A and B are shown apart, each in its own frame.
Chain A
Amino acid sequence: MIAIAYGWPDVLVFATAAILIVVGALGVIATRHPVHAALSLIMTLFGVAVAFVAQSADFLAAVEIIVYAGAIVVLFLFVIMFLGVDRDEGTRVEPLVGQRALAALGVVITVAGLITLMARSHWVTGATSVSTAGAPLASGSGNVRQLGTAVFTTYLFAFEATAALLIIAVVGAVVLARREQRRDAEEDTPDTPDTPDTSAASSDLEGSER
C-alpha cells in the first residue's frame, strides 16, 4: 500500500538507506571492539550517502563517501591501531548504577519530542528559494553548479572562514601530537611510561601526519 502510494523504487531506496543507517549506528554503540565500531560507522555513512542521493544531493553524497568514509574513518582506524587499543572494552558492567536506563529514558524522551515537533508543526518560511532564484533543486551536474554558486556567492564569508579553521586545526593537531624531548624531561611525571619505543612511535606519527 505504501509502495503503491509512493512508487517501488523510492520506497526501496529509503528502506535500504534506513536499514544501513540504523544497523550501522547500533553496531557503533553495541560492539565492544573499536575496529568493529569504526567499520559499522562506515556502514552508517554509506546509508546516509544513499539517502543524500535519493534527495538529489549528489555532490554531498560523493563528499560523504570521500571525506567521511575515506578520510575520517581511516583516521579513526589509524589512531586505534597506533594506540593499540584494538581490544575489547568491558561493557558488561555499568560504571554508574542506572546510567544506561537513565540515558535510554532521556534519549527516548528527546526523540519522541523531536518526532512530535515534526508531526505537529507546519513548516512556514518567509522567502524560500532565494539562493536558487525559484528554480527547483537539480540533481547530477546541476546540483554541483547550484551548490557551487551558493557556496561562492551567498556563503563566501563562511567558506573563507572554513579555510582559516582548517589551517588552525592542522596546526593544532601537529602541536598536540608533537612531543618535545626537553620539556618532557623537565615535566616528566612518575606515571609516564617514557620508553624508547613510544618516542620512536611518536616520531612515526609526526611524519605520517605531515
Chain B
Amino acid sequence: MNVPAAWYLVLGAVLFGIGAFGVLTRRSALIMFMCIELMLNAVTLTFVTFARTLNDIGGQATVFFIMVVAAAEVTVGLGIVVAIFRRRASTSVDELSEMKG
C-alpha cells in the first residue's frame, strides 16, 4: 500500500513555505528566481498528489503546462536580470528603486 497522500501534501506545503521565505528575505534577484522555482515545484508536487488521490490524469496534465510556463518565465526573467546587470552592474533588488512612487 502506498503512503497516504497527506504526507506528500504536507511536504509540498513545507517546500512552498521554504521558497516563500527565500523570496521574502534574499536580496539577489537570481536567488529569488530559484526560490520561485521552489514554490512552483511545491505546487506541482501537490497537483501530482491530487492526480493520484482523485484518480484523474488532469492533475498531471496541469503539471505539464506549469513546467512549460516555468521554462518561459525563467528565460524571460533571466533576460531581464542580464539587461539590468548591464545597466547597474548588480543583481541586488535593493538597488532597483528608481520606480518607487
Contact = CB atoms under 8 A, between A and B. Distances in A.
**Is B one of A's binding partners?**
yes
Interface of A: 5-7, 10-11, 14, 17-18, 21-22, 25-26, 28-29, 34, 37-38, 41, 44-45, 48, 51-52, 54-57, 59-60, 63-64, 67-68, 71-72, 75-76, 79-80, 82-83, 85, 89, 91, 95, 99-100, 103-104, 106-108, 110-111, 114-115, 118-119, 123, 125, 128-132, 136-137, 143, 146-147, 149-151, 154-155, 158-159, 162, 165-166, 168-170, 172-173, 176-177, 179, 189, 191-193, 198, 202, 205
Interface residues of B, number: 75
A38 B73 CA distance: 17
A22 B18 CA distance: 8
Contacts of A114: 13, 16
B76 interface: yes
Given A22-B18, A37-B34, A114-B16, A103 B25 contact: yes
Given A28-B34, A95-B94, 20 more contacts: A21-B11, A25-B15, A25-B38, A45-B41, A54-B3, A67-B67, A71-B71, A89-B26, A107-B24, A115-B13, A131-B56, A131-B57, A143-B60, A162-B65, A168-B72, A170-B75, A172-B75, A176-B79, A177-B79, A205-B82
Contact of B30 (A34, A71, A108, A202): A34
A63 B64 contact: yes
A107 B18 CA distance: 8
Contacts of B101: none
A151 B61 contact: yes
Contacts of B80: 176
Contact of B60 (A5, A18, A60): A60
Interface string B45-61: 10011111111111011
A10 B16 CA distance: 23
A156 B1 CA distance: 34
A72 to B, nearest CB: 5
Contacts of A136: 55
Given A25-B18, A26-B18, A155-B61, A17 B11 contact: yes
B33 A76 contact: yes
Given A44-B38, A131-B58, A75 B74 contact: yes
Contacts, number: 250
Classify the interface of chain B: helix, strand, loop or mixed.
helix
A6 B1 CA distance: 5
Contact of B6 (A37, A72, A118): A118
Contacts of B56: 128-132, 137
B15 A21 contact: yes
Contact of B63 (A60, A99, A131, A205): A60
B24 A51 contact: no
